[in-house]
């Protein structure tokens, strides 16, 4: 069957298994990680719902045939996994990038061809401030790697969700396996501060020159002084054989998610407002902190956490809701150990 006619000739799933599962000799196997949930029975565009392949976000699929511009043939990688049609990268990008304004839900049944004219689709581009077309992630080509230690562990989250506490606990408990960077600053050292401990002190002109040269992963200004994390300082930790733990701004993921840093990215999500309020009260009562946060402050943390998750969800390897620091640490520790014991699916650019 000619694959280009898939939009007119509707294949049952069995036919796809028989006709589509065989690849051309010498053609490389293609595997993708899905960054969205898909159910063909909720899809008004698929030519045949019964021929569609349902999948969940995070699942790995083998792409069998992608000659058709709109519908690819794929199968689940797990043993005995089913096969079927999935929307192509091109089709799903169009769907994600635009908002449907007018659509006729009626469509042909499987095994029939309809000549009935459809209403035209009208689209309005979204004008969401968080929307970035280049951030749309549909499928990501991946390769299977044997167990290995990631070069970096990147903790993403809103301010006040406990990232620093988790990072410090890992380093204190196992300094031979985990380390972190020392931030640079242009401010003058205080009397009790030694260079290279809490901060590395440099002149403002030197720091500005290095920022301009792209030597900083991230930087910012506070009370007239510059602060930042140098890229080389991450690599220095990695070169000692340790995993470098970073708690950085999510924008930094665009730089870090390469073979040079091979990050395991964990989103530390804020719990519900009531839980966060109780956790804050507990640390204040225990004398762990003297900083009192208002309900407005706590709500900002919850809202910021939700915003980061919406915007950067496709980068996360794991999401942990921190409603209890000890339990969150255990979950993170279990995930890190698993990386050293089980094969991993990683972006193909890390391998080739």
Residue 33: half-sphere exposure toward Cβ, Cα within 13 Å: 16
pLDDT of 25 higher than 70: no
Q: Which CATH superfamily is domain 3-142 in?
A: SH3 Domains (2.30.30.40)
- Give the torsion through C-alpha atoms of 171, 303, 93, 16, to 10 deg: 70
Segment 50-73 shows an average pLDDT of: 94
Give the pair of three-digit tokens for residue 76: 């689940």
Distance CA 256, CA 253 (A): 5
Q: pLDDT tens for residues 155-181?
A: 999 998 999 999 999 999 999 999 999
Query: 149-177+243-339, which class in CATH?
Result: alpha beta
Query: 180-241, which class in CATH?
Result: alpha beta
Q: pLDDT tens for residues 216-248?
A: 999 999 999 999 999 999 999 999 999 999 999
pLDDT of 48 higher than 70: yes
Query: Which sign does the torsion angle of CA 67, 349, 141, 345 carry?
Result: positive
Q: Which residue, 333, 320, 335, is CA-closest to 271?
A: 320
Ordered by start, the domain boundaries in the chain are: 3-142, 149-177+243-339, 180-241
Distance CA 268, CA 95 (A): 29
Residue recorded with tokens 């225990």: 286
Quick one: what percent of the chain has pLDDT higher than 90? Answer: 68
Query: pLDDT-derived band of residue 135, with 50, 70 and 90 as boundaries?
Result: low
Residue 5 pairs in a beta bridge with none
Cα angle 120, 123, 127 (rounded to 5 degrees) comes to 175
Q: In angstroms, what CA-CA distances link 87 with 9, 65, 301? A: 16, 12, 36
Query: pLDDT-derived band of residue 352, with 50, 70 and 90 as boundaries?
Result: confident
Query: pLDDT-derived band of residue 2, with 50, 70 and 90 as boundaries?
Result: very low
Q: pLDDT tens for residues 320-331?
A: 999 999 999 999
């Amino acid at each position: 069957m000619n694959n280009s006619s898939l939009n007119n000739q509707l294949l049952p799933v069995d036919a796809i298994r028989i006709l589509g599962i065989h690849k051309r000799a010498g053609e490389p196997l293609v595997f993708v990680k899905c960054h969205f949930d898909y159910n063909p029975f909720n899809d008004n565009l698929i030519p045949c719902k019964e021929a569609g392949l349902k999948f969940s976000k995070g699942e790995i699929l083998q792409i069998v045939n992608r000659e058709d511009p709109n519908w690819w043939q794929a199968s689940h990688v797990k043993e005995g996994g089913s096969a079927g049609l999935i929307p192509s990268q091109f089709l799903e990008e169009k769907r994600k990038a635009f908002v449907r304004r007018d659509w006729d839900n009626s469509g042909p049944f499987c095994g029939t061809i309809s000549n009935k004219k459809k209403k035209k689709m009208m689209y309005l581009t979204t004008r969401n401030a968080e929307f970035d077309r280049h951030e749309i992630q549909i499928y990501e080509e991946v390769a299977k790697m044997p167990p290995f230690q990631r070069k970096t562990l990147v903790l993403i989250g809103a301010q006040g969700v406990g990232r620093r506490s988790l990072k410090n606990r890992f380093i204190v408990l196992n300094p031979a396996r985990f380390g972190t960077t020392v931030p640079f600053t242009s401010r003058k050292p205080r009397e009790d501060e030694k260079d290279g401990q809490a901060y590395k002190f440099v002149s403002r002109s030197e720091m500005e020159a290095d920022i301009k040269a792209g030597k900083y992963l991230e930087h910012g200004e506070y009370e007239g002084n510059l602060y930042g994390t140098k890229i080389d300082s991450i690599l220095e930790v990695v070169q000692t054989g340790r995993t470098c733990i970073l708690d950085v701004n999510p924008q930094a993921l665009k730089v870090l998610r390469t073979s040079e840093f091979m990050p395991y990215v964990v989103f530390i999500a804020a719990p519900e407002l009531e839980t966060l309020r109780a956790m804050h009260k507990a640390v204040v009562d225990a004398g762990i902190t003297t900083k009192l946060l208002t309900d407005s402050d706590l709500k900002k943390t919850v809202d910021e956490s939700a915003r980061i998750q919406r915007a950067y969800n496709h980068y996360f390897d794991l999401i942990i809701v921190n409603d209890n620091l000890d339990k969150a640490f255990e979950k993170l520790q279990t995930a890190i150990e698993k990386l050293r014991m089980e094969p991993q699916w990683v972006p193909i650019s890390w391998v080739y």
